[in-house]
């Protein structure tokens, strides 16, 4: 599962150019083979290994836990429930205790994180401003395929993605959606090469004011069902009235719902894998600790 933390890693790796062949990883993850050896040992010996730090704040373990617990504690402006706090302290933990890699992390949004991901470019003369809106939850290949298709509609596209508030997404998606909160979804979408700008907390209805403010030339939506607004109206009625609305088929069948269903179906297998992974990491940490500790003992003298 690729989230914005992984996207930042890939961005750093791409900037390294041809020097980096393989072995892109993060220094806050341990990767070992089944026999306990460093996965990247040969790559390191060849001098082609570099580590790219992942953006801190969310882990794949955390996202999977949100799907399994079906709580809303991760939504913006939501207090952490006692159930979620208990989960955060125990999910996937092996009997030996918790390690800093497999455990659950908590996301803290900062302006610097947004700047790190944002392009910082404004639309230029001759560019077509295209507006897309949605949840973009668990940003996946289906979203990327859609944005790529939208990007190819014109010669010089400038795509603005409107991300709905957590409460709005939960209203039309139900259950405990979105799995990723607004801040996390913002960084995920900003990391996509096809997106130039993100509206954080966009209104559900694409209004005349929004179209005028961003000088939108075209509004696109995928083939997924368009849920009516709270008053029963079509959220895209204004762009449709202007004749600037277009539906775009991504060509992908993958959806956020399908990903969640897969995770829930394989819950027991995932938890067992996570516990095995943590046990291996803890064993590695203990071995490293023992190597660092010099043998101590009293010097014996013969009289």
Which distant-in-sequence residues (6+ apart) come within 8 Å of 1 by Cβ? 60, 63, 64, 138, 140, 259
Digit-coded pLDDT (tens) for 23-79: 444 545 556 665 667 788 888 888 888 776 665 555 666 777 777 776 677 776 555
pLDDT category of residue 275 using cuts at 50, 70 and 90: confident
C-alpha span between 109 and 114 (Å, rounded): 8
The answer, yes or no, to whether the previous bond of 178 is cis (omega within 30 of 0) is: yes
The count of residues in the chain is 303
pLDDT category of residue 104 using cuts at 50, 70 and 90: very low
pLDDT category of residue 113 using cuts at 50, 70 and 90: low
C-alpha span between 93 and 51 (Å, rounded): 26
Is the model more confident about 152 or about 176?
A: 152
Digit-coded pLDDT (tens) for 209-256: 999 999 999 999 999 999 999 999 999 999 999 999 999 999 999 999
CA nearest to 73, candidates 85, 61, 64: 85
C-alpha span between 83 and 145 (Å, rounded): 36
The two tokens of residue 189 are: 């979408």
Digit-coded pLDDT (tens) for 155-172: 999 999 999 999 999 999
pTM of the model: 0.67
- Asked if the model's pLDDT at residue 93 lies above 70, the reply is no
State the virtual CA torsion across 144, 146, 149, 155 in degrees, nearest 10: -80
pLDDT category of residue 108 using cuts at 50, 70 and 90: low
Please calculate the CA angle 187-189-195 and round it to the nearest 5 degrees.
125
The two tokens of residue 152 are: 């190819």
User: How many percent of the chain have pLDDT more than 70?
Assistant: 66
Digit-coded pLDDT (tens) for 116-136: 667 778 999 999 999 999 999
pLDDT category of residue 109 using cuts at 50, 70 and 90: low
Is the model more confident about 193 or about 115?
A: 193
Q: What is the DSSP string of the chain?
A: ---HHHHHHHHHHHHHGGG--S--B-TTS--B-TTS-BTTHHHHHTT---B-PPPTT--HHHHHHHHHHT--TTSTT-PPPHHHHHHHHHTT-BTTB--TTTS-------HHHHHHH---PPPPTTPEEEEEEE--TT--HHHHHHHHHHHTTSSSEEEEEEEEPHHHHHHHH-TT--SS-HHHHHHHHHTSTT--EEEEEE-SS--HHHHHHHT-SEEEE-SS-----TTS--TTHHHHHHT-EEE---S----HHHHHHHHHHTHHHHHHHHHHHHHHHHHHHHHHHHHHSPP--PPP---
> The dihedral of CA 208, 211, 212, 217: what is its sign?
negative
């Amino acid at each position: 599962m690729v989230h914005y933390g992984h996207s930042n890693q890939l961005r750093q790796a791409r900037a390294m150019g041809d020097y980096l062949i393989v072995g892109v990883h993060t220094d806050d993850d341990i990767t070992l083979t089944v026999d306990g050896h460093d996965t990247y040992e040969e790559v390191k010996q060849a001098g082609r290994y570099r580590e790219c730090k992942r953006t801190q704040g969310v882990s794949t373990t955390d996202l999977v836990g949100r799907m399994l617990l079906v709580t809303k504690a991760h939504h913006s402006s939501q207090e952490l429930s006692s159930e979620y706090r208990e989960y955060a302290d125990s999910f996937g933990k092996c009997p030996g205790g918790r390690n800093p890699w497999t455990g659950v992390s908590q996301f803290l949004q900062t302006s610097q994180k947004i700047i790190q991901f944002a392009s910082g470019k404004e639309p230029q003369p001759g560019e077509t401003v295209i507006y897309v809106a949605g949840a973009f939850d668990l940003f996946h290949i289906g979203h990327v395929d859609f944005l790529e298709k939208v990007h190819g509609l014109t010669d010089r596209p400038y795509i603005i993605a409107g991300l709905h508030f957590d409460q709005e997404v939960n209203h039309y998606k139900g259950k405990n959606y979105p799995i990723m909160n607004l801040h996390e979804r913002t960084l995920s979408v900003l990391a996509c090469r096809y997106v130039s700008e993100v509206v954080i907390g966009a209104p559900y209805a694409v209004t005349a004011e929004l179209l005028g403010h961003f000088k939108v030339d075209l509004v696109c939506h995928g083939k997924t069902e368009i849920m009516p607004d709270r008053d029963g109206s079509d959220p895209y009625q204004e762009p449709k009235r202007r004749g600037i609305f277009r539906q775009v088929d991504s060509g992908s069948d993958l959806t956020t719902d399908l990903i969640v269903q897969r995770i829930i179906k394989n819950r027991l297998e995932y938890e067992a894998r996570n516990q095995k992974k943590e046990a291996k990491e803890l064993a590695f940490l203990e071995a490293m600790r023992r190597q660092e500790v010099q043998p101590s003992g009293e010097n014996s003298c013969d009289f």
